[in-house]
């Protein structure tokens, strides 16, 4: 390698350069000003053309050469290097990554070029110090519509699940969806979740199918292998949901056990048992029945239930005869039913939904002081249903719904720029997406109740004096609900419930179990667990920009393709 002075206009751009997305006008103006002030400090790297002539191709430094011409320089110094066996493909990519990270689309194009030259995915990952998973994710872009790629090349990338959904769809379907969801004039970003949602097809997996190949062929079901699924499980699936469910229904019909029946499900996915039927959780008796149904994933499930004999025993009002399951003796015996809990599991699920909706309504409309709002945000991020993506991840894709709220507070240059109203909207939206009291995997636990109590979410709870919710209460809980009302308990539970529904049609009712009350023992245990380590290392509190912070102020003052510093762009606003 040697230095050579040459007219920059005599240099030829490398047609295989990894960087194809144009740089910003601001970055080019900065580079031009630097070259005019101090010249080119780091020479571009060139190589002689393979034809043996005196012309040279630019391997690294296309922007430096272009801005040197714009500055009117007659000669510049270049480093002449030998032509690599792969025509400089890997060296060109590494050079660009080291100076300014390539966009995802440019990375993919460079990877495809390396693959065409005989590089394996493993070798590319090792050479670039990137995870192999990242290389394979980038190669999904080969299946994306070119006009979508142009949008992604601007830095507007979908997250990984959205990209997988888009890449799995046929090009024609992508083209149809893109016509509707392409950014309009004056719009910069695309709502990728809506694009992915329009292309997503529900998958029904073969591992959940009870029917065999014969029924699959009869209904025209063709299984497709999921190439990205773990190797130790059956990953075959079909997107023909209707055919899959019909085949499951036929299988259930032909495989019904004795005293079995096929039942529908509720909106919560629970089986609808026949009237006067009670589910059996213990050992099934001889007279018990089996109900078969399809769950939300289309999988066949079965439960055992028992038909209650509601005829009253002679001489014993209110007694219920036990069903004949073969275990009773010849003499009729009055059976006392088990004491029902105050609120059923379904009732607790409804309470979780009521709490969550009230919490969201309060977060969206109730007056909240600034200090309280910030405290609630901290609580929300500490919820059991929150998973925070670390900034130290090597993954180039963006995860988490919090990103879209944070984007409201950042301008196009990466600096914090917002007004007070935008800050409040973003904070409330983040809290609504985080805090939950639903009885599923999204439950935030104790912090949701603390937050609800802090902002008065009890005042946003709906009227629970409906037949649907009151039917989830036991007799004793229902009678306690009559306290403070003119309604008197009736002999029959359904009469009491009907009277309460009529009364609460004009008055609001909230069950005490739904209120955002907090057990002090739970709080003490929670605080004891999470305040055990409160000491902060003094080294972690040093402010950026002081001595010893590891940032070289002169590091950014060079004329490379784009200045690289240790600072992230948003730190300027934070400081």
Radius of gyration of the chain (CA): 34
Distance of CA 94 to the CA centre of its chain: 32
Edge-to-edge strand ranges of the sheet holding 2-6: 2-6, 76-81, 45-48, 56-60, 11-13
For the entire predicted model, the pTM comes to 0.33
Domain at 2-191: CATH code: 1.10.10.2830
Please report how the helices 520-530 and 446-454 are oriented relative to each other, as an axis angle in degrees rounded to 10. 110
Q: Which helix (H) or strand (E) holds 216?
A: helix 213-218
Structure tokens at 234: 């059956």
Residue 387's alpha-carbon distances to 193, 357, 382, 425, 444, in angstroms, are 19, 22, 9, 22, 11
Percent of the chain as helix, strand, coil, to the nearest 5? 40, 10, 45
Residue 2's alpha-carbon distances to 43, 46, 141, 220, 235, in angstroms, are 11, 10, 39, 68, 56
Q: How far apart are CA 575 and CA 544, in angstroms?
A: 8
Give the per-residue SS3 of 519-562.
CHHHHHHHHHHHCCCCCCCHHHHCCCCCCCCCCCCCCCCCCCCC
> Cβ(274)–Cβ(308) under 8 Å?
no
Domain spans in the chain, listed from the N-terminal domain onward:
2-191, 206-335, 343-461+516-534, 467-509
Q: How far apart are CA 419 and CA 175, in angstroms?
A: 38
Q: Is 420 helix (H, G, I), strand (E, B) or coil?
A: helix
Give the per-residue SS3 of 451-467.
HHHHCCHHHHCCCCCCH
Tell me which DSSP letter residue 187 carries.
Answer: -
Query: What does the pLDDT profile of the chain (575 residues) look like in tens digits?
Result: 677 787 888 788 877 766 666 667 777 787 788 788 778 877 888 887 766 667 778 877 788 888 888 888 888 888 777 765 555 566 666 555 545 566 778 888 888 888 888 888 888 887 777 788 888 888 888 888 989 888 888 878 888 888 888 888 888 888 988 988 888 877 778 888 888 888 877 788 899 999 999 999 999 999 988 776 777 788 888 888 888 999 999 999 999 988 889 998 887 778 988 888 888 887 778 888 999 999 888 899 999 998 876 554 444 544 445 454 544 444 444 445 567 788 888 888 888 888 888 888 888 888 887 767 766 776 676 676 767 543 333 443 334 556 666 676 677 777 766 677 777 777 887 788 788 888 887 788 888 889 998 999 988 999 998 988 988 999 888 888 888 888 888 888 889 989 998 888 888 888 988 898 888 888 888 787 766 444 434 343 333 333 333 333 333 333 434 333 333 333 333 33
Q: How far apart are CA 527 and CA 326, in angstroms?
A: 55
Q: How far apart are CA 89 and CA 110, in angstroms?
A: 8
């Amino acid at each position: 390698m040697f230095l050579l002075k040459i007219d920059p206009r005599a240099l030829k751009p490398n047609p295989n350069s990894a960087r194809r997305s144009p740089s910003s006008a601001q970055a080019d103006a900065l580079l031009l000003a630097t070259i005019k002030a101090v010249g080119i400090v780091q020479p571009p790297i060139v190589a002689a053309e393979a034809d043996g002539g005196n012309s040279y191709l630019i391997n690294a430094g296309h922007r430096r050469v272009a801005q040197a011409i714009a500055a009117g320089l007659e000669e510049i110094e270049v480093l002449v290097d030998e032509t690599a066996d792969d025509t400089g493909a890997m060296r060109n990519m590494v050079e660009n990554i080291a100076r300014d990270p390539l966009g995802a689309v440019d990375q993919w194009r460079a990877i495809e070029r390396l693959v065409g030259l005989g590089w394996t995915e493993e070798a590319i990952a090792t050479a670039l110090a990137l995870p192999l998973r990242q290389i394979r994710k980038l190669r999904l872009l080969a299946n994306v519509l070119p006009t979508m790629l142009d949008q992604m090349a601007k830095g507007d990338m979908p997250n990984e699940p959205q990209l997988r959904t888009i890449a799995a769809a046929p090009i024609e379907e992508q083209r149809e969806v893109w016509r509707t969801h392409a950014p309009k004039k004056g719009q910069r970003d695309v709502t990728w979740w809506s694009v992915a949602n329009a292309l997503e097809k529900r998958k029904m997996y073969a591992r959940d199918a009870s029917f065999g190949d014969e029924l699959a062929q009869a209904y025209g079901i063709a299984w497709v292998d999921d190439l990205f699924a773990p190797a130790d499980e059956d990953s075959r699936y079909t997107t023909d949901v209707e055919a899959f469910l019909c085949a499951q229904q036929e299988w259930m019909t032909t495989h019904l056990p004795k005293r079995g029946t096929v039942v529908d499900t509720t909106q919560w996915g629970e089986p609808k048992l026949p009237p006067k039927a009670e589910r059996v959780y213990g050992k099934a008796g001889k007279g018990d029945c089996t109900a078969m149904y399809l769950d939300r994933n289309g999988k066949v499930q079965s439960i055992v239930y028992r038909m209650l004999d509601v005829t009253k025993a002679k001489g014993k009002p209110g007694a219920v005869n036990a069903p004949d399951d073969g275990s009773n003796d010849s003499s009729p015996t009055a059976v006392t039913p088990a004491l029902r809990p105050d609120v059923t599991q379904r009732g607790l699920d409804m309470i979780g939904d009521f709490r969550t909706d009230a919490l969201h309504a309060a977060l969206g409309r109730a007056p909240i002081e600034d200090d309280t709002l910030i405290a609630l945000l901290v609580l929300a991020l500490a919820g059991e249903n929150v998973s925070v993506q670390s900034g130290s991840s090597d993954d180039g894709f963006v995860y988490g719904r919090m990103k879209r709220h944070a984007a409201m507070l950042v301008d196009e240059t990466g600096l914090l720029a917002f007004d007070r109203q935008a800050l409040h909207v973003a904070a409330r939206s983040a809290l609504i997406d985080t805090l939950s009291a639903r009885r599923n995997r999204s439950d935030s636990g104790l912090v949701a109740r603390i937050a609800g109590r802090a902002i008065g979410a009890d005042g946003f709870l709906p009227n629970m004096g409906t037949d649907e919710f009151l039917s989830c209460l036991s007799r004793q809980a229902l009678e306690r609900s009559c306290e403070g009302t003119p309604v008197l308990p009736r002999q029959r539970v359904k009469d009491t419930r009907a009277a309460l529904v009529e009364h609460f049609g004009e008055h609001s009712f909230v069950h005490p179990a739904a209120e955002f009350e907090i057990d002090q023992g739970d709080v003490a245990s929670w605080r004891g667990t999470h305040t055990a380590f409160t000491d902060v290392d003094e080294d972690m509190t040093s402010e950026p920009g002081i001595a010893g912070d590891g940032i070289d102020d002169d590091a950014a003052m060079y004329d490379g393709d784009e200045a690289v510093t240790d600072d992230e762009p948003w730190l300027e606003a934070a400081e």
